[in-house]
Amino acid sequence: MLTQERVKELFDYEDGHLIRKTDEAYNAQSGDTVGYVSNCGYLRVNVDGKKYLVHRVIFLMHNGYLPKVVDHVDRDRLNNNIDNLRDSSYAMNNCNKLKRKNCSSIYIGVTWDKDLCKWRASCGINQKFIHLGVFTDEKKAAIARDKFIKSRPELKLRILNFP
């Protein structure tokens, strides 16, 4: 198991990057920035023969523990600045995702209902789907979703269509 002590023994931190302190890794020198981009778009690093996500290693280095989920606040998978990383739940992390490309609406939480020929506003909270209404106007549906989120203090970290 990776520990804060081991991470601090191997790496320095500088502006969102891990810098190798030692030459003990294969094909690496001290002073090198570590990490390679994996096929899922995150930086990874090998430590003692095991692969780790760089943002998790940085979080451990600064906080002394590893939560189940480390979320990138700005949703940039390569921005591993410690100010951009937060302890998160799976639900909060899912709410911080970018809008999927194959959606019918340009707004988050808004979809086209073919049967009603209207825009449907919805929100997922704690694995529950909340229907917020149907609207003839796409933007009004997005405004309704944002209004609902703003009215719920526990949802303040969720993505809004209109800040």
As for how many domains the chain has, the answer is 2
Those residues whose C-beta lies under 8 Å from the C-beta of residue 88, and which sit 6 or more positions away, are 67, 69, 70, 71, 96
User: Rounded to 5 degrees, what angle do the CA atoms 36, 17, 157 make?
Assistant: 100
The chain-wide mean pLDDT, for the chain, equals 85
- Boundary residue ending a domain (57, 72, 91): 91
User: What is the pLDDT at residue 73?
Assistant: 83
Q: Which domain holds residue 65?
A: 4-91
Q: In the structure, how many helices (H) and strands (E) does the chain have?
A: 4, 10
pLDDT at 24: 65
CB burial of residue 143 (10 Å; 0-12, 13-18, 19+): middle
Q: Domain check: are 110 and 150 in the same one?
A: yes
Distance from C-alpha of 68 to C-alpha of 90, rounded to nearest angstrom: 8
In the chain, pLDDT over 70 holds for what percent of residues?
Answer: 82
How does pLDDT run across 72-119, given as a tens digit for each residue?
Answer: 888 889 999 999 999 987 767 666 666 666 678 888 888 899 999 999
- Residues 33-60 have pLDDT tens digits of 888 998 889 999 988 889 999 999 999 9
